[in-house]
Chain A
Amino acid sequence: MTAAENRFLKEAVKQGLRMQHRFLAEPVLARTGKGYLKSEGVTTLQRIKASLKTSKSKRRNGRAE
């Protein structure tokens, strides 16, 4: 395994474990033709947008970030 492949594997496993609670173990898509993924909700996007708004307003007020 190359270093890049190894790095990818580590990152992917970390990512996969982080969101594992959103998936079902059984092969739902293969059986029904419709997949399953529990919604993450809008909290993360709201947080990102709020932090973008904060940094924009800090820039407008001339404050260093």
Chain B
Amino acid sequence: MAGLNKNWLRVVPWETVVSINAALCDARNALHKPTSDGYAPAKDLWERNRLRQISLPELLQICFQCHRLAPFCNYNGNTFVTIVKTLLNDELNRLPPDQAHILRSIAGHIVAGTATDIEEKQLDSLLSVLEKI
């Protein structure tokens, strides 16, 4: 499934990712610092995809991979889940509120690394609804 191809990351330069993490760490007095092994590959992955047309499932995978690479010492999960949920806001307006809530939740679970097989299947059916609207 192609699934909503667009330039999803156009409004999210890497500096914004860093600023989001800094704000989240600051709120909890946690250390905001790049990691020695994860920062460079995550930044590279992000920049390679930033100006590309990508599908929604690809977007979720990119954010999941960046989360897994752990570019920051703290709050990697919240940083990338937040980005996906915020990017989805406009698209979700096209869905009924209950389905929008479910899609938003599944997207968050996928990026957080806690999605179940059932949720992955549910994502496909919600995307096909979204494509028809």
A residues with CB within 8 A of B? 1-2, 4-5, 7-9, 11-13, 15-17, 19-20, 22-30, 33-37, 40, 44-45, 48-49, 51-52
Restricting to B45-100, which residues have a CB under 8 Å from any CB of A?
67-70, 72-79, 81-83, 85-87, 89, 96-98
B residues with CB within 8 A of A? 10-13, 15-16, 19-20, 23-25, 27-28, 30, 35, 38, 67-70, 72-79, 81-83, 85-87, 89, 96-98, 101-102, 105, 108-109, 112-114
B16 x A8 contact (CB < 8 A): yes
Contact of A19 among B10, B82, B101 (CB under 8 A): B82
Task: Tell me what chain B mostly uses at the interface: helix, strand, loop, or mixed.
Answer: helix
Contact of B28 among A4, A9, A25 (CB under 8 A): A25
B102 x A12 contact (CB < 8 A): no
